[in-house]
Structure 1
Amino acid sequence: MLVHPWDAARDAAEWRAWLAPRDFGQLAANGVDGTPPVVVPTHFLLDGDEVLLHLARPNPIWAALEANPLAVLTVHDDYAYIPGHWRPTGVPTSYYASVQLSCRAEVVDDREGKAEILRRQLAHHQPEGGYGLMAADEGPYHKRLSALRGLRLTVLDVRAKFKYDDHNPAEERERIAGRLAERGLPGDAGARAQQLRRLKEQPADT
Protein backbone atom coordinates (compact mmCIF):
# COMPACT_ATOMS: atom_id res chain seq x y z
CA MET A 1 0.00 0.00 0.00
CA LEU A 2 1.42 3.35 -1.06
CA VAL A 3 1.29 5.88 1.79
CA HIS A 4 2.15 9.49 0.94
CA PRO A 5 3.37 11.61 3.86
CA TRP A 6 0.11 13.61 3.92
CA ASP A 7 -1.98 10.41 4.03
CA ALA A 8 -0.05 8.73 6.85
CA ALA A 9 -1.41 8.29 10.35
CA ARG A 10 -0.04 11.07 12.52
CA ASP A 11 0.78 8.62 15.29
CA ALA A 12 -0.12 5.18 16.59
CA ALA A 13 -2.93 6.66 18.66
CA GLU A 14 -4.76 7.73 15.49
CA TRP A 15 -4.79 4.37 13.76
CA ARG A 16 -5.52 2.52 17.00
CA ALA A 17 -8.50 4.78 17.72
CA TRP A 18 -9.82 4.23 14.20
CA LEU A 19 -9.30 0.47 14.37
CA ALA A 20 -10.69 0.01 17.90
CA PRO A 21 -14.37 -0.36 16.89
CA ARG A 22 -13.52 -2.35 13.75
CA ASP A 23 -12.89 -6.04 14.28
CA PHE A 24 -13.51 -7.58 10.86
CA GLY A 25 -10.89 -7.69 8.13
CA GLN A 26 -9.02 -9.89 5.69
CA LEU A 27 -6.11 -12.11 6.64
CA ALA A 28 -3.71 -12.72 3.74
CA ALA A 29 -0.87 -15.22 3.50
CA ASN A 30 1.43 -16.21 0.64
CA GLY A 31 0.23 -19.07 -1.49
CA VAL A 32 2.15 -22.34 -1.49
CA ASP A 33 4.40 -23.28 -4.43
CA GLY A 34 3.62 -20.17 -6.46
CA THR A 35 -0.15 -20.27 -6.07
CA PRO A 36 -2.05 -17.00 -5.49
CA PRO A 37 -2.21 -15.58 -1.96
CA VAL A 38 -4.82 -17.00 0.39
CA VAL A 39 -7.20 -14.28 1.65
CA VAL A 40 -9.66 -15.02 4.46
CA PRO A 41 -12.37 -12.62 5.67
CA THR A 42 -12.56 -12.95 9.45
CA HIS A 43 -13.45 -11.39 12.77
CA PHE A 44 -10.47 -10.82 15.04
CA LEU A 45 -9.46 -9.36 18.39
CA LEU A 46 -6.59 -6.87 18.57
CA ASP A 47 -5.11 -6.72 22.06
CA GLY A 48 -2.05 -4.50 22.23
CA ASP A 49 0.40 -5.91 19.69
CA GLU A 50 -1.30 -9.29 19.46
CA VAL A 51 -4.18 -10.40 17.24
CA LEU A 52 -6.31 -13.41 18.19
CA LEU A 53 -8.70 -15.33 15.97
CA HIS A 54 -9.84 -18.83 15.08
CA LEU A 55 -10.77 -20.53 11.82
CA ALA A 56 -12.15 -23.89 10.73
CA ARG A 57 -9.63 -26.70 10.42
CA PRO A 58 -10.22 -27.17 6.63
CA ASN A 59 -9.36 -23.53 5.91
CA PRO A 60 -6.69 -23.29 3.17
CA ILE A 61 -4.73 -20.66 5.06
CA TRP A 62 -3.18 -23.24 7.38
CA ALA A 63 -0.98 -24.73 4.67
CA ALA A 64 0.08 -21.23 3.63
CA LEU A 65 1.04 -20.25 7.19
CA GLU A 66 2.90 -23.48 7.77
CA ALA A 67 4.98 -22.75 4.66
CA ASN A 68 5.52 -19.10 5.65
CA PRO A 69 4.26 -17.74 8.99
CA LEU A 70 4.28 -14.11 7.83
CA ALA A 71 0.81 -12.71 7.13
CA VAL A 72 -1.01 -9.40 6.72
CA LEU A 73 -4.29 -8.48 8.37
CA THR A 74 -5.95 -5.59 6.58
CA VAL A 75 -8.98 -3.49 7.47
CA HIS A 76 -10.49 -0.72 5.35
CA ASP A 77 -13.55 1.49 5.83
CA ASP A 78 -14.88 5.04 5.47
CA TYR A 79 -14.40 4.94 1.71
CA ALA A 80 -16.05 6.99 -1.02
CA TYR A 81 -15.53 7.67 -4.73
CA ILE A 82 -14.77 11.33 -5.40
CA PRO A 83 -15.69 12.33 -8.98
CA GLY A 84 -13.33 14.48 -11.00
CA HIS A 85 -15.70 17.43 -11.30
CA TRP A 86 -15.64 17.82 -7.50
CA ARG A 87 -11.90 18.55 -7.57
CA PRO A 88 -10.07 21.53 -9.15
CA THR A 89 -7.72 19.15 -10.97
CA GLY A 90 -10.61 17.33 -12.62
CA VAL A 91 -9.00 14.03 -11.57
CA PRO A 92 -11.24 11.58 -9.70
CA THR A 93 -9.94 9.78 -6.64
CA SER A 94 -10.93 7.45 -3.82
CA TYR A 95 -11.15 8.43 -0.19
CA TYR A 96 -10.55 5.66 2.34
CA ALA A 97 -8.91 4.66 5.58
CA SER A 98 -6.90 1.45 5.81
CA VAL A 99 -4.73 -0.23 8.42
CA GLN A 100 -2.48 -3.14 7.49
CA LEU A 101 -0.87 -5.20 10.24
CA SER A 102 2.13 -7.28 9.18
CA CYS A 103 2.31 -10.21 11.56
CA ARG A 104 4.07 -13.43 12.46
CA ALA A 105 1.55 -16.23 12.94
CA GLU A 106 1.58 -18.91 15.60
CA VAL A 107 -0.92 -21.72 15.04
CA VAL A 108 -2.60 -22.87 18.25
CA ASP A 109 -3.74 -26.48 18.32
CA ASP A 110 -3.78 -27.42 22.01
CA ARG A 111 -7.27 -27.47 23.50
CA GLU A 112 -6.61 -25.08 26.35
CA GLY A 113 -4.92 -22.61 24.01
CA LYS A 114 -7.89 -22.67 21.65
CA ALA A 115 -10.35 -22.35 24.54
CA GLU A 116 -8.44 -19.29 25.80
CA ILE A 117 -8.61 -17.62 22.39
CA LEU A 118 -12.34 -18.32 22.19
CA ARG A 119 -12.92 -16.98 25.71
CA ARG A 120 -11.20 -13.73 24.85
CA GLN A 121 -12.90 -13.38 21.48
CA LEU A 122 -16.35 -14.08 22.91
CA ALA A 123 -15.81 -11.58 25.71
CA HIS A 124 -15.00 -8.98 23.05
CA HIS A 125 -17.54 -9.80 20.33
CA GLN A 126 -20.36 -10.85 22.65
CA PRO A 127 -19.90 -8.84 25.86
CA GLU A 128 -23.53 -9.35 26.84
CA GLY A 129 -22.73 -13.04 27.43
CA GLY A 130 -25.17 -15.78 26.55
CA TYR A 131 -22.56 -18.25 25.37
CA GLY A 132 -22.06 -20.26 28.57
CA LEU A 133 -18.87 -21.85 29.78
CA MET A 134 -15.95 -21.93 27.37
CA ALA A 135 -13.45 -24.53 28.61
CA ALA A 136 -11.16 -27.13 27.10
CA ASP A 137 -12.89 -30.13 28.67
CA GLU A 138 -16.38 -29.04 29.68
CA GLY A 139 -19.21 -26.74 28.71
CA PRO A 140 -21.36 -26.63 25.56
CA TYR A 141 -18.50 -26.15 23.09
CA HIS A 142 -15.59 -28.29 24.21
CA LYS A 143 -16.46 -31.16 21.87
CA ARG A 144 -16.22 -28.78 18.91
CA LEU A 145 -12.71 -27.56 19.61
CA SER A 146 -11.24 -30.26 17.39
CA ALA A 147 -13.00 -28.69 14.39
CA LEU A 148 -11.02 -25.46 14.58
CA ARG A 149 -7.54 -24.07 15.06
CA GLY A 150 -6.50 -20.87 16.79
CA LEU A 151 -4.15 -18.14 15.65
CA ARG A 152 -1.96 -15.76 17.58
CA LEU A 153 -0.55 -13.03 15.37
CA THR A 154 2.31 -10.93 16.69
CA VAL A 155 2.24 -7.50 15.04
CA LEU A 156 5.62 -6.71 13.50
CA ASP A 157 4.80 -3.60 11.48
CA VAL A 158 1.85 -1.31 10.81
CA ARG A 159 0.98 0.67 7.69
CA ALA A 160 -1.89 3.08 8.19
CA LYS A 161 -3.38 5.38 5.58
CA PHE A 162 -6.06 8.08 5.74
CA LYS A 163 -6.54 9.25 2.16
CA TYR A 164 -8.69 12.38 2.31
CA ASP A 165 -6.84 15.02 0.25
CA ASP A 166 -4.95 16.35 3.25
CA HIS A 167 -2.39 17.96 0.94
CA ASN A 168 -5.05 20.22 -0.58
CA PRO A 169 -6.30 23.57 0.79
CA ALA A 170 -8.76 23.45 3.68
CA GLU A 171 -11.51 25.24 1.74
CA GLU A 172 -11.37 22.61 -1.02
CA ARG A 173 -11.66 19.77 1.47
CA GLU A 174 -14.55 21.49 3.26
CA ARG A 175 -16.34 21.90 -0.07
CA ILE A 176 -15.92 18.20 -0.87
CA ALA A 177 -17.16 17.33 2.63
CA GLY A 178 -20.28 19.29 1.80
CA ARG A 179 -20.73 17.40 -1.46
CA LEU A 180 -20.42 14.10 0.40
CA ALA A 181 -23.15 15.21 2.82
CA GLU A 182 -25.40 16.11 -0.11
CA ARG A 183 -24.80 12.88 -2.04
CA GLY A 184 -25.36 10.55 0.92
CA LEU A 185 -24.26 7.29 -0.66
CA PRO A 186 -23.19 4.38 1.55
CA GLY A 187 -19.75 5.24 2.89
CA ASP A 188 -20.09 8.99 2.28
CA ALA A 189 -20.89 9.83 5.91
CA GLY A 190 -17.90 7.89 7.19
CA ALA A 191 -15.54 9.40 4.62
CA ARG A 192 -16.84 12.88 5.41
CA ALA A 193 -16.36 12.34 9.14
CA GLN A 194 -12.77 11.23 8.64
CA GLN A 195 -12.01 14.12 6.30
CA LEU A 196 -13.38 16.70 8.74
CA ARG A 197 -11.62 15.04 11.68
CA ARG A 198 -8.28 15.12 9.87
CA LEU A 199 -8.88 18.73 8.84
CA LYS A 200 -9.66 19.75 12.42
CA GLU A 201 -6.64 17.90 13.83
CA GLN A 202 -4.17 19.02 11.16
CA PRO A 203 -1.33 21.15 12.57
CA ALA A 204 -1.61 24.80 11.60
CA ASP A 205 1.79 24.89 9.89
CA THR A 206 1.03 22.12 7.36
Structure 2
Amino acid sequence: MLIHPWEAPSDDTEWQSWLAGHDFGQLAGNGLAGDPPWVQPLHFAYDADRHEAVTHFARPNPLWRALEADPSVLLSVVDDYTFIPGPWQAAEGTPPEHGVPTSFYAAVQLRCTAHVVDDPEEKAELLRRQMAHFQPEGGSAPVTADGPPYGRMLSGIRALRLEVTEARAKFKYAGKKSREVQERIARRLAERDGPGDAAARSHQLRRMPPVRT
Protein backbone atom coordinates (compact mmCIF):
# COMPACT_ATOMS: atom_id res chain seq x y z
CA MET A 1 0.00 0.00 0.00
CA LEU A 2 1.54 3.29 -1.11
CA ILE A 3 1.35 5.95 1.60
CA HIS A 4 2.34 9.49 0.71
CA PRO A 5 3.54 11.72 3.57
CA TRP A 6 0.30 13.74 3.48
CA GLU A 7 -1.74 10.53 3.81
CA ALA A 8 0.12 9.08 6.80
CA PRO A 9 -1.45 9.20 10.27
CA SER A 10 -0.18 11.89 12.57
CA ASP A 11 0.62 9.23 15.18
CA ASP A 12 -0.43 5.72 16.25
CA THR A 13 -3.37 7.12 18.19
CA GLU A 14 -5.06 8.31 14.99
CA TRP A 15 -5.21 4.92 13.30
CA GLN A 16 -5.79 3.00 16.52
CA SER A 17 -8.78 5.20 17.34
CA TRP A 18 -10.16 4.64 13.86
CA LEU A 19 -9.59 0.89 14.04
CA ALA A 20 -11.39 0.72 17.39
CA GLY A 21 -14.60 1.50 15.50
CA HIS A 22 -13.90 -0.82 12.56
CA ASP A 23 -13.82 -4.47 13.50
CA PHE A 24 -14.59 -6.21 10.21
CA GLY A 25 -11.92 -6.84 7.61
CA GLN A 26 -10.14 -9.41 5.49
CA LEU A 27 -7.40 -11.75 6.64
CA ALA A 28 -4.96 -12.64 3.86
CA GLY A 29 -2.63 -15.60 4.19
CA ASN A 30 -0.05 -16.97 1.81
CA GLY A 31 -1.56 -19.70 -0.30
CA LEU A 32 -0.18 -23.20 -0.51
CA ALA A 33 2.25 -24.01 -3.30
CA GLY A 34 0.71 -22.99 -6.62
CA ASP A 35 -2.22 -21.16 -4.99
CA PRO A 36 -2.92 -17.43 -4.88
CA PRO A 37 -3.24 -15.75 -1.46
CA TRP A 38 -6.17 -17.02 0.60
CA VAL A 39 -8.50 -14.32 1.93
CA GLN A 40 -11.07 -14.69 4.71
CA PRO A 41 -13.62 -11.93 5.58
CA LEU A 42 -14.09 -11.83 9.35
CA HIS A 43 -14.99 -9.93 12.49
CA PHE A 44 -12.11 -9.41 14.92
CA ALA A 45 -11.40 -7.69 18.21
CA TYR A 46 -8.26 -5.55 18.24
CA ASP A 47 -6.43 -4.86 21.50
CA ALA A 48 -3.99 -1.96 21.18
CA ASP A 49 -2.45 -2.60 24.60
CA ARG A 50 -1.65 -6.22 23.77
CA HIS A 51 -0.73 -5.45 20.15
CA GLU A 52 -2.94 -8.23 18.91
CA ALA A 53 -6.30 -9.08 17.38
CA VAL A 54 -8.39 -12.14 18.18
CA THR A 55 -10.94 -13.98 16.08
CA HIS A 56 -12.16 -17.48 15.25
CA PHE A 57 -13.75 -19.44 12.46
CA ALA A 58 -14.99 -22.93 11.71
CA ARG A 59 -12.64 -25.90 11.91
CA PRO A 60 -13.34 -26.99 8.27
CA ASN A 61 -12.17 -23.62 6.91
CA PRO A 62 -9.38 -24.31 4.38
CA LEU A 63 -7.46 -21.25 5.54
CA TRP A 64 -6.16 -23.23 8.52
CA ARG A 65 -3.90 -25.26 6.24
CA ALA A 66 -2.35 -22.09 4.85
CA LEU A 67 -1.81 -20.64 8.34
CA GLU A 68 -0.13 -23.80 9.56
CA ALA A 69 2.19 -23.75 6.53
CA ASP A 70 3.01 -20.05 6.94
CA PRO A 71 1.79 -18.01 9.94
CA SER A 72 2.65 -14.65 8.33
CA VAL A 73 -0.66 -12.91 7.51
CA LEU A 74 -2.10 -9.49 6.75
CA LEU A 75 -5.28 -8.15 8.33
CA SER A 76 -6.72 -5.43 6.09
CA VAL A 77 -9.51 -2.98 6.95
CA VAL A 78 -10.86 -0.32 4.54
CA ASP A 79 -13.80 2.00 5.14
CA ASP A 80 -15.03 5.61 5.01
CA TYR A 81 -14.55 5.58 1.26
CA THR A 82 -16.21 7.59 -1.47
CA PHE A 83 -15.64 8.68 -5.07
CA ILE A 84 -14.54 12.24 -5.82
CA PRO A 85 -15.46 13.53 -9.33
CA GLY A 86 -12.76 15.24 -11.35
CA PRO A 87 -14.28 18.75 -11.43
CA TRP A 88 -14.28 18.86 -7.63
CA GLN A 89 -10.51 18.48 -7.66
CA ALA A 90 -9.63 21.04 -10.32
CA ALA A 91 -6.99 23.49 -9.18
CA GLU A 92 -8.14 27.06 -8.74
CA GLY A 93 -7.90 29.01 -11.97
CA THR A 94 -8.11 25.92 -14.21
CA PRO A 95 -11.13 24.58 -16.14
CA PRO A 96 -13.25 22.18 -14.00
CA GLU A 97 -12.97 19.52 -16.70
CA HIS A 98 -9.21 19.42 -16.11
CA GLY A 99 -9.74 18.03 -12.62
CA VAL A 100 -8.77 14.40 -12.08
CA PRO A 101 -11.17 12.08 -10.21
CA THR A 102 -9.95 10.09 -7.23
CA SER A 103 -11.04 7.94 -4.30
CA PHE A 104 -11.13 8.91 -0.65
CA TYR A 105 -10.67 6.16 1.93
CA ALA A 106 -9.15 5.15 5.25
CA ALA A 107 -7.17 1.93 5.47
CA VAL A 108 -5.23 0.03 8.11
CA GLN A 109 -3.12 -3.02 7.37
CA LEU A 110 -1.78 -5.08 10.25
CA ARG A 111 1.02 -7.50 9.51
CA CYS A 112 0.68 -10.32 11.99
CA THR A 113 2.00 -13.66 13.12
CA ALA A 114 -0.94 -16.03 13.43
CA HIS A 115 -1.16 -18.27 16.51
CA VAL A 116 -3.75 -21.03 16.15
CA VAL A 117 -5.47 -21.88 19.45
CA ASP A 118 -7.05 -25.30 20.00
CA ASP A 119 -6.95 -25.66 23.79
CA PRO A 120 -10.57 -25.45 25.04
CA GLU A 121 -9.77 -23.17 27.99
CA GLU A 122 -7.72 -20.82 25.83
CA LYS A 123 -10.41 -20.77 23.15
CA ALA A 124 -13.03 -19.90 25.76
CA GLU A 125 -10.88 -17.02 27.02
CA LEU A 126 -10.41 -15.61 23.52
CA LEU A 127 -14.15 -15.92 22.88
CA ARG A 128 -14.87 -14.05 26.11
CA ARG A 129 -12.66 -11.22 24.86
CA GLN A 130 -14.55 -11.13 21.58
CA MET A 131 -17.91 -11.16 23.34
CA ALA A 132 -16.79 -8.30 25.61
CA HIS A 133 -15.98 -6.28 22.49
CA PHE A 134 -18.99 -7.09 20.32
CA GLN A 135 -21.65 -7.58 23.00
CA PRO A 136 -20.59 -5.51 26.01
CA GLU A 137 -24.18 -5.23 27.17
CA GLY A 138 -24.18 -8.96 27.92
CA GLY A 139 -27.36 -10.98 27.63
CA SER A 140 -25.71 -14.27 26.69
CA ALA A 141 -24.63 -17.24 28.77
CA PRO A 142 -21.03 -17.15 30.02
CA VAL A 143 -18.46 -18.62 27.66
CA THR A 144 -16.83 -21.58 29.40
CA ALA A 145 -14.95 -24.59 28.12
CA ASP A 146 -17.37 -27.08 29.66
CA GLY A 147 -20.69 -25.30 30.24
CA PRO A 148 -23.71 -24.83 27.97
CA PRO A 149 -24.21 -23.66 25.35
CA TYR A 150 -20.69 -22.87 24.18
CA GLY A 151 -18.74 -25.72 25.71
CA ARG A 152 -20.07 -28.32 23.32
CA MET A 153 -19.48 -26.00 20.34
CA LEU A 154 -15.82 -25.27 20.96
CA SER A 155 -14.66 -28.42 19.20
CA GLY A 156 -16.21 -27.09 15.97
CA ILE A 157 -14.08 -23.93 15.87
CA ARG A 158 -10.47 -22.91 16.14
CA ALA A 159 -9.44 -19.58 17.66
CA LEU A 160 -6.82 -17.29 16.26
CA ARG A 161 -4.56 -14.84 18.03
CA LEU A 162 -2.96 -12.39 15.62
CA GLU A 163 0.25 -10.93 17.02
CA VAL A 164 0.77 -7.57 15.32
CA THR A 165 4.34 -7.08 14.11
CA GLU A 166 3.81 -4.04 11.88
CA ALA A 167 1.02 -1.54 11.27
CA ARG A 168 0.50 0.64 8.20
CA ALA A 169 -2.27 3.20 7.92
CA LYS A 170 -3.46 5.60 5.27
CA PHE A 171 -5.99 8.44 5.27
CA LYS A 172 -6.44 9.50 1.66
CA TYR A 173 -8.42 12.75 1.84
CA ALA A 174 -6.85 15.32 -0.52
CA GLY A 175 -4.13 16.20 1.95
CA LYS A 176 -1.91 17.61 -0.81
CA LYS A 177 -4.57 19.88 -2.30
CA SER A 178 -4.84 23.59 -1.57
CA ARG A 179 -7.19 24.70 1.16
CA GLU A 180 -9.49 26.25 -1.46
CA VAL A 181 -9.82 22.92 -3.28
CA GLN A 182 -10.27 21.01 -0.05
CA GLU A 183 -13.02 23.35 1.08
CA ARG A 184 -14.72 22.94 -2.30
CA ILE A 185 -14.59 19.15 -1.99
CA ALA A 186 -15.95 19.28 1.55
CA ARG A 187 -18.80 21.51 0.40
CA ARG A 188 -19.65 19.20 -2.51
CA LEU A 189 -19.59 16.16 -0.24
CA ALA A 190 -22.07 17.82 2.09
CA GLU A 191 -24.31 18.70 -0.87
CA ARG A 192 -24.18 15.22 -2.38
CA ASP A 193 -24.57 13.44 0.98
CA GLY A 194 -24.32 9.98 -0.57
CA PRO A 195 -23.14 6.72 1.04
CA GLY A 196 -19.80 7.31 2.74
CA ASP A 197 -19.74 11.04 2.05
CA ALA A 198 -20.30 12.19 5.63
CA ALA A 199 -17.56 9.97 7.04
CA ALA A 200 -15.13 10.98 4.31
CA ARG A 201 -15.90 14.66 4.82
CA SER A 202 -15.35 14.27 8.56
CA HIS A 203 -11.87 12.86 7.97
CA GLN A 204 -11.06 15.55 5.45
CA LEU A 205 -12.08 18.38 7.77
CA ARG A 206 -10.32 16.79 10.74
CA ARG A 207 -7.04 16.50 8.83
CA MET A 208 -7.23 19.86 7.04
CA PRO A 209 -4.44 22.15 8.24
CA PRO A 210 -5.56 25.20 10.23
CA VAL A 211 -5.87 28.57 8.56
CA ARG A 212 -2.71 30.62 9.01
CA THR A 213 -3.19 34.03 10.55
Asked whether the two chains share a fold, i.e. TM above 0.5, the reply is yes
Tell me the secondary structure at the aligned position of residue 104 of structure 1. strand
Name which of 55, 59, 62 aligns with 1:60: 62
Q: What is the deviation of 1:152? A: 0.5
Q: What is the deviation of 1:140? A: 1.3
Output the amino acid matched with 1:52: V
Tell me the secondary structure at the aligned position of residue 147 of structure 2. coil
**Alignment partners' CA distance in 2, 1:51 and 1:171:** 40
Tell me the secondary structure at the aligned position of residue 167 of structure 2. strand
Question: 131-140 or 186-195: which moved more?
Answer: 131-140
2:24 matched residue in structure 1: 24
1:167 matched residue in structure 2: 176
Whether 1:197 aligns to 2:171 is no
How far does the alpha carbon of each residue in 1:42-83 deviate from its partner, in whole angstroms, 9 at most, with x for none? 110111201110111111211111111000111111101111
TM (normalized to structure 1)?
Answer: 0.95
**Alignment partners' CA distance in 2, 1:87 and 1:133:** 53
1:110 matched residue in structure 2: 119
1:128 matched residue in structure 2: 137
Tell me the secondary structure at the aligned position of residue 35 of structure 1. coil
How far does the alpha carbon of each residue in 1:136-180 deviate from its partner, in whole angstroms, 9 at most, with x for none? 111311000000000001100011000011011112111101101
How far does the alpha carbon of each residue in 1:12-48 deviate from its partner, in whole angstroms, 9 at most, with x for none? 0110111111111111101111211111111101112
Output the amino acid matched with 2:65: A
**Alignment partners' CA distance in 2, 1:167 and 1:192:** 15
Q: What is the deviation of 1:203? A: 6.8
Tell me the secondary structure at the aligned position of residue 140 of structure 2. coil
How far does the alpha carbon of each residue in 1:103-158 deviate from its partner, in whole angstroms, 9 at most, with x for none? 00000001011101111101110011111121111131100000000000110001
Output the amino acid matched with 2:135: Q
**Alignment partners' CA distance in 2, 1:34 and 1:8:** 35
**Alignment partners' CA distance in 2, 1:156 and 1:203:** 34
How far does the alpha carbon of each residue in 1:80-115 deviate from its partner, in whole angstroms, 9 at most, with x for none? 111111111511100000000000000000101110
Whether 1:76 aligns to 2:85 is no
1:45 matched residue in structure 2: 45
Asked whether the equivalents of residues 88 and 181 of structure 2 are also in contact (C-alpha less than 8 Å), the reply is no
Output the amino acid matched with 2:70: N
Structure 1 alignment gaps of length 5 or more: none
Q: How many residues align?
A: 203
Output the amino acid matched with 1:149: R
Whether 1:179 aligns to 2:188 is yes
Output the amino acid matched with 2:111: S
Moved over 3 A (4+): 202-205
